[in-house]
Amino acid sequence: MQQAIFNGTRTARWAVQSFLAACLLLSNAAAFGQIWEGGNVENGQALFNANCASCHKVTNEVLAAPGLAGIRDRWTSGDELLVQWIQNPQAAAESGDPYIKSLVDRYVGTYGWMSAQAVSADDVKDIMAYVQNPPDVAAPAASAGTDCITVDELPVQNADNPSIWFLVLLVLFLVIALSAAGVNRTLRSAVNVSKGESPLPDATYFQRAKGWMWNNLVFVSLVGLFVVAYAVVIGYQGLMGIGVMEGYKPDQPIKFIHSVHVCENEVDCKYCHHSAYESKHAGIPSTNVCMNCHKAVKKGRRYGETEIGKIYAAIGFDPESGTYMNGAGEKGFTNPQDDFGGEPIRWNKVHNLPDHVFFSHQQHVVVGGLHCQNCHGDVQTYTVGRQARTEDINKLVDDYPGLIQLSKPTLTMGWCIECHNKAEVSLASSGYYEEMHERLRDDERGNEELRRYLEDDKITVKELGGWECAKCHY
Amino acid sequence: MKTRSKQLLPIAALTGLVVLSGCVTDPNSPGLEYMPDMYRSAAIEAYVDYGMDEYAFGWAEQAEQRLIQSARKPVKGSIAFQPDAKEFAMPYPYPNTPAGYEAAGRELTSPLATTKAHIEEGKAIYTQMCTQCHGEKGEGDGALSRNGHIQGIPSYSGKLKDLPVGNMYHTLTYGKGLMGSHASQLDQRDRWLVIEYIKVLQNGGELPEFDEAGNAVESASAEAGATAMND
């Protein structure tokens, strides 16, 4: 009985709904609320992604303009004005509609005018269908970054140093072994006494060790020789390692992953380290450069919001409203505010030349035309920055034409001058070198002694003064 | 048997030492420095960790030292050094407001001529600085868009086909929508050079015709037309 009534009410409701729908379809006039029904979601999604997604989200989240969730409940100004508002916001604002006026007052000052969109009324209908019922937000393409490898992992925090544990175990082992030997000796002495023999003589460990050594002279000599040789080798290696910092990879305040940025998302080295082309320093990007992408990318795949949140804290960005804060904590600014007193991110310098060495990135990158990888290795496979090893850089010779294979450790003087000796200067790269070349060849102006440089038809950096002390030390 | 096991003891200890010395490589340690005060002198260098040089500073000052030379924005109102071009060293007159954007679009023109060399320079900058979002052809299909991070980037040959250069310059300087300001990465000349290449992309990637000196023929005639109209 109940079932029948339920069925009955459902049929009745269906009838009423279809009647209303038919009425709506029949009435050609811009009926109130018609734009919210019957749009094509798929087409709407395509249109939304092409035209709206750079500023709006379908959720409540603010990107560069308010999120569109619940727009149907908020928009009370009729269909025609909605279409006009999208097609030409400034014209729609002149209509004097109170809701539109409130939007203009509240948002245009912060985000600017929405640019006029070339969409038809039917398009708007499709877009609204998508905005009201967005399918599950598609995850970033699964294929993204599968070709990208990361050669190292970021260090796990609070990791114990295994060598310390090894040392503790070693000491423990020694203590146990020595006590066992002592017990052994006492027991043997007691056995001797019980048999009526004299007890073992009372001797210190040192005396006993000395006796043992005299008894095993050949063995002790061999071990001694080994210890001395080992100490010499280790000492030599230690001395040669002074000032060599290959493989230095300090922890950084942000768990930055180069491979995600450079390989997956194809951000050029220069985008962040832009001053490499203009200055002696390649530089670490200031937070406003990070924000050029991270205004939109608020969540990392690996660390979620924690690591990206550190940028926001430093520059004063509020991810909820998509705006910046000023010193007083007021939100709503589209650009970073100078008076926001955030603590800068304290990056640790990885490549450090001694203070008495002059080095300029600009000279090597702009004039020399070197790839970053020639000296820094395959950075697009790193996590945080580290000082590359020469043998790793040498492996890249097939990928980077012109890369010079070297033998000395990176960032040592031997490494610098080895490369200056091998690297050829392209005379076409700069008028300066062309002029120098002409002077060398010219019989009247050229120096006989210098002309031998031209015998092998190559001009190296060394031959143009790259081995002069004062090139780098002054 | 007992003496044999005793003999093994020093060997075990020695092997232990060898293994121990082999695994002491801490990525957080730069290694030994010969005279650290030569590596980390009092002269300010970018990002040098003065905190490590207790000889020169002492621990009380190191925290303050590290704060001084960490990443900071340029001082407000500072002008980038431009040795040979005063037209690229002038302050930008339009404010960062919707009205300023409109005004720049109406009034601002490029101080650079459209030449082959400028377009090539602009293309080099575009490839390094813009492609990850705007795509190689400027169709808004850069890697960040393909990977689903930033969507709806407009195409230069589509939606932005008729965007005036003044608006582009304004956007590069202050940012617009999701795009941030690129003024700290591109100096004024770089910005105008990129715009030269974006004009090519607006035209579907087709280069204008050049005369023998490498000047664009079209733009010359257009300029002549504009001056004629002004007269």
Between A11-15, A148-152, A313-317, the lowest mean confidence (pLDDT) is in A11-15
Looking at the structure, do residues B58 and B161 belong to the same domain, yes or no?
no
Looking at the structure, do residues A182 and A235 belong to the same domain, yes or no?
no
Last residue within a domain, chosen from B65, B80, B108 = B65
| Cross-chain Cβ contact B30/A245 below 8 Å | yes
pLDDT in tens, B10-41: 555 555 555 544 444 677 777 777 777 777 66
Torsion region of A139: left, alpha or beta (phi above 0 gives left; psi -120 to 50 gives alpha): beta
User: Is A137 exposed, middle or buried (CB count within 10 Å of its CB: 0-12, 13-18, 19+)?
Assistant: exposed
- The answer to whether residue B116 sits within a structural domain is yes
Residue A275 has pLDDT above 60, yes or no: yes
Looking at the structure, do residues B162 and B207 belong to the same domain, yes or no?
yes
Last residue within a domain, chosen from A132, A148, A173 = A132
Looking at the structure, do residues B156 and B218 belong to the same domain, yes or no?
yes
| Cross-chain Cβ contact A346/B6 below 8 Å | no
Between A120-129, A151-160, A405-414, B140-149, the lowest mean confidence (pLDDT) is in A151-160
Looking at the structure, do residues B203 and B110 belong to the same domain, yes or no?
yes
Token pair, residue B52, equals 């490590």
Check residue A321 and give its pLDDT: 83
Looking at the structure, do residues A403 and A450 belong to the same domain, yes or no?
yes
Average of per-residue pLDDT across A367-383: 90
Looking at the structure, do residues A448 and A410 belong to the same domain, yes or no?
yes
State how far residue B21 is from chain A, nearest Cα, in angstroms.
9
Identify the domain containing residue A178 by its residue range: 162-200
User: Highest-confidence range of A71-75, A261-265, A431-435, by mean pLDDT?
Assistant: A261-265
Per the DSSP assignment, residues forming a β-bridge with A317 are A324
Between A7-16, A281-290, A324-333, the lowest mean confidence (pLDDT) is in A7-16
The DSSP 8-state label assigned to residue A248 in this structure reads: -
Residue A395, CA distances (Å) to A328, A379, A391 in order? 53, 13, 7
Last residue within a domain, chosen from A112, A132, A152 = A132
| Cross-chain Cβ contact B101/A281 below 8 Å | no
Looking at the structure, do residues A190 and A214 belong to the same domain, yes or no?
no
Contacts of A288 in chain B (CB under 8 A): 73, 180-181, 184
The CA-based diameter of chain B, rounded to the nearest angstrom, is 114
Q: How many of the other CB atoms lie within 10 Å of CB of B113?
A: 14
Q: How far is Cα B58 from Cα B51, in angstroms, rounded to an integer?
A: 8
Contacts of A348 in chain B (CB under 8 A): 47, 49
Q: Which of B10, B19, B143 sits opposite A223 (nearest CB)?
A: B10
Looking at the structure, do residues A181 and A122 belong to the same domain, yes or no?
no
- The answer to whether residue A215 sits within a structural domain is yes
Percent of residues, chain A, with pLDDT higher than 90: 25
Better-scored residue on pLDDT, A135 or A218: A218
- The answer to whether residue A383 sits within a structural domain is no
- The answer to whether residue A289 sits within a structural domain is no
Looking at the structure, do residues B105 and B213 belong to the same domain, yes or no?
yes
**Phi, psi torsion values for A86, nearest 5 degrees:** -80, -40
Looking at the structure, do residues A60 and A120 belong to the same domain, yes or no?
yes
Domain count, chain B: 2
Instruction: With cut-offs at 50, 70 and 90, classify the pLDDT of residue A217.
Output: very high
Residue position matching structure tokens 């030349």 = A353
Residue A434 has pLDDT above 80, yes or no: no
Looking at the structure, do residues A175 and A218 belong to the same domain, yes or no?
no
Instruction: With cut-offs at 50, 70 and 90, classify the pLDDT of residue A181.
Output: confident
State how far residue B230 is from chain A, nearest Cα, in angstroms.
30
CA contacts within 13 A on the Cβ side of A153? 4
CATH number, residue B130: 1.10.760.10
Straight-line distance from the first to the last Cα atom of chain A, in angstroms, rounded to the nearest whole number: 102
Please tell me the total number of residues recorded for chain B in this structure.
Answer: 231
ipTM of model: 0.79
Looking at the structure, do residues B198 and B145 belong to the same domain, yes or no?
yes
Identify the domain containing residue B45 by its residue range: 37-65
Check residue A159 and give its pLDDT: 53
Token pair, residue B192, equals 């105008």
- The answer to whether residue B152 sits within a structural domain is yes
Residue position matching structure tokens 């398009």 = A123
Q: How far is Cα B73 from Cα B60, in angstroms, rounded to an integer?
A: 26
- The answer to whether residue B82 sits within a structural domain is no
Q: Which of A212, A241, A335 sits opposite B175 (nearest CB)?
A: A335
- The answer to whether residue A157 sits within a structural domain is no
Token pair, residue A111, equals 């985000």
- The answer to whether residue A344 sits within a structural domain is no
Please give the mean pLDDT across all residues of chain A.
Answer: 82
| Cross-chain Cβ contact A292/B180 below 8 Å | yes
Average of per-residue pLDDT across A334-356: 83
Contacts of A52 in chain B (CB under 8 A): 152
Average of per-residue pLDDT across B2-8: 50
Residue at A79: amino acid letter: D
Provide the H-helix boundaries in A34-120: 41-51, 71-74, 79-87, 89-93, 98-103, 109-111
pLDDT in tens, B215-224: 887 644 444 4
- The answer to whether residue B20 sits within a structural domain is no
- The answer to whether residue B199 sits within a structural domain is yes
Instruction: With cut-offs at 50, 70 and 90, classify the pLDDT of residue A23.
Output: very low
Looking at the structure, do residues A46 and A98 belong to the same domain, yes or no?
yes
Token pair, residue A215, equals 């008894």
CB A322, CB A343: distance < 8 Å:
no
Looking at the structure, do residues A69 and A122 belong to the same domain, yes or no?
yes
- The answer to whether residue B7 sits within a structural domain is no
User: Is A346 exposed, middle or buried (CB count within 10 Å of its CB: 0-12, 13-18, 19+)?
Assistant: middle
pLDDT in tens, A78-104: 888 888 888 888 888 888 888 888 888
Looking at the structure, do residues B41 and B98 belong to the same domain, yes or no?
no
Looking at the structure, do residues B220 and B110 belong to the same domain, yes or no?
yes
Which of B101, B161, B178 to mutate against chain A (most A CBs within 10 Å)?
B178
Residue A32, CA distances (Å) to A22, A29, A79, A251, B216 in order? 15, 9, 7, 61, 54
CATH number, residue A36: 1.10.760.10
Last residue within a domain, chosen from B19, B50, B65 = B65
Token pair, residue A405, equals 């294979």
State how far residue B20 is from chain A, nearest Cα, in angstroms.
6
CA contacts within 13 A on the Cβ side of A291? 32
Better-scored residue on pLDDT, A6 or A354: A354
Q: Which of A53, A108, A352 sits opposite B48 (nearest CB)?
A: A352
Residue B146 has pLDDT above 90, yes or no: no
- The answer to whether residue A237 sits within a structural domain is yes
Per the DSSP assignment, residues forming a β-bridge with B214 are none
Helix, strand, coil fractions of chain A, as percent rounded to 5: 50, 0, 45
Looking at the structure, do residues A209 and A229 belong to the same domain, yes or no?
yes
Name B172's Cβ contacts closer than 8 Å, sequence gap at least 6. Answer: B181, B182, B183, B186, B191, B194, B195
Looking at the structure, do residues A213 and A123 belong to the same domain, yes or no?
no
pLDDT in tens, B114-132: 999 999 999 999 999 999 9
Looking at the structure, do residues B48 and B109 belong to the same domain, yes or no?
no
**For A300, which residue in chain B has the nearest alpha carbon?**
B149
Encode chain B in three state secondary structure. CHHHHHHHHHHHHHHHHHHHHHCCCCCCCCCCCCCHHHHCCCCCCCCCCHHHCCCCCCHHHHHHHHHHCCCCCCCCCCCCCCCCCHHHCCCCCCCCCHHHHHHHHHHCCCCCCCEHHHHHHHHHHHHHHCHHHHCCCCCCCCHHHHCCCCCCCCCCCCCCCCCCHHHHHHHHHHCECCECCCCCCCCHHHHHHHHHHHHHHHCCCCCCCECCCCEEHHHHHHHHHHHHHHC
Instruction: With cut-offs at 50, 70 and 90, classify the pLDDT of residue A69.
Output: confident
Check residue A30 and give its pLDDT: 43
Average of per-residue pLDDT across B155-163: 89
- The answer to whether residue B148 sits within a structural domain is yes
**Phi, psi torsion values for A166, nearest 5 degrees:** -60, -40
Residue A239, CA distances (Å) to A27, A345, A356 in order? 92, 35, 21
Contacts of B184 in chain A (CB under 8 A): 286, 288-289
Check residue B115 and give its pLDDT: 92
State how far residue A296 is from chain B, nearest Cα, in angstroms.
6
Q: Minimal CA–CA distance to B104: which of B93, B112, B91, B113?
A: B93
Check residue B57 and give its pLDDT: 59
| Cross-chain Cβ contact B179/A223 below 8 Å | no
Per the DSSP assignment, residues forming a β-bridge with A460 are A424
Cα three-residue angle A9-A10-A11, rounded to 5 degrees? 90
Cα three-residue angle A379-A384-A385, rounded to 5 degrees? 55
Instruction: With cut-offs at 50, 70 and 90, classify the pLDDT of residue B229.
Output: very low
Q: How far is Cα A243 from Cα A182, in angstroms, rounded to an integer?
A: 47
Check residue B2 and give its pLDDT: 44
Check residue B117 and give its pLDDT: 92
- The answer to whether residue A394 sits within a structural domain is yes
Name B168's Cβ contacts closer than 8 Å, sequence gap at least 6. Answer: B195, B198
- Cα Rg of chain A, angstroms: 38
- The answer to whether residue B174 sits within a structural domain is yes
Residue B61 has pLDDT above 70, yes or no: no
Looking at the structure, do residues A194 and A210 belong to the same domain, yes or no?
no
Domain count, chain A: 4
Instruction: With cut-offs at 50, 70 and 90, classify the pLDDT of residue A146.
Output: low
Q: How far is Cα B96 from Cα B175, in angstroms, rounded to an integer?
A: 9
Average of per-residue pLDDT across A440-460: 74
CB B39, CB A352: distance < 8 Å:
yes
Q: How far is Cα A237 from Cα A230, in angstroms, rounded to an integer?
A: 11
